Amino acid sequence: MCLIYDRDDDRKKIVSEYMAAGLKQGEQLRYLTDNTAPETINSWLMEAGVEFPEAGENSPLKIFSAESAYCPNGYFNPRELIPTLLPRYELAKKAGYNGQRSCGEMTWALRGIPGSDLLLEYEALLNTVVANFPHSGMCQYDARRFDGATLFKVLKIHPWMIVRGKIVQNPYYVSSEEFLEEFKPEQ
């Protein structure tokens, strides 16, 4: 699902409720941060009434730098990244989690990192694998930083979106195959 926002207080409420719900449901949570300090994310959870998860290897909440998660080799390659998702879920399942929930700040893609022009391809490819394991993901797009054309494409590739704090089926969604055919990156 996508969250396109232009107000930080709305984003804070939506993201904290989304993460708190995952923790309460026994899911492993991955937060990929770009502009938000890990301490801020933890405070959002506390304000949402969630007991602070234990720190360390067994913590259900893992906070990573978005850039290091999406670009582990210094560049972004969706076709290298997508195959790493299923094994990660298997590890979470073995650790006793009911599923995975991720939340990513997508502003990292605006820095000109090699391959970041393939962000929408990644979003489309992601839809092809999430049906194979219990996972929900929220991609956060700051409407003050992304241009309108990109945000429209973001809407087209997310089957669910958040409108006024509610998760709704996205009427603009097109299948991954259709999207990839229609919106090929410029070569």
- For residue 35, give its domain range: 2-182
Edge-to-edge strands, sheet with 166-169: 61-65, 28-33, 100-105, 135-142, 2-5, 160-163, 166-169
**22, 83, 85, 130 from 126: Cα distances, Å:** 19, 10, 9, 6
In-domain check, residue 152: yes
Give CA–CA dist 126/137, Å, rounded: 10
Q: How many CB atoms lie within 10 A of CB 140?
A: 23
Q: pLDDT 10s digit of each residue in the chain, 187 long?
A: 999 999 999 999 999 999 999 988 999 999 999 999 999 998 998 888 887 656 666 789 999 999 999 999 999 999 999 888 878 888 888 888 988 899 999 999 999 999 999 999 999 988 887 666 678 899 999 999 999 999 999 999 999 999 988 999 999 999 988 998 886 655 4
In-domain check, residue 48: yes
Q: pLDDT value at position 41? A: 92
Give CA–CA dist 61/173, Å, rounded: 30
173: CATH: 3.40.50.300
Q: pLDDT value at position 67? A: 95
Task: Determine the angle formed by the axes of helices 38-47 and 8-24, rounding to 10 degrees.
Answer: 70
Q: Are 120 and 154 in contact (CB under 8 A)?
A: yes
In-domain check, residue 187: no
Q: Are 42 and 82 in contact (CB under 8 A)?
A: no
In-domain check, residue 124: yes
Token digits of residue 174: 């097109």
The per-type count for the chain, helices as H runs and strands as E runs, is 8, 7
**Tell me, what DSSP letter sits at residue 163?**
E
Domain count, the chain: 1
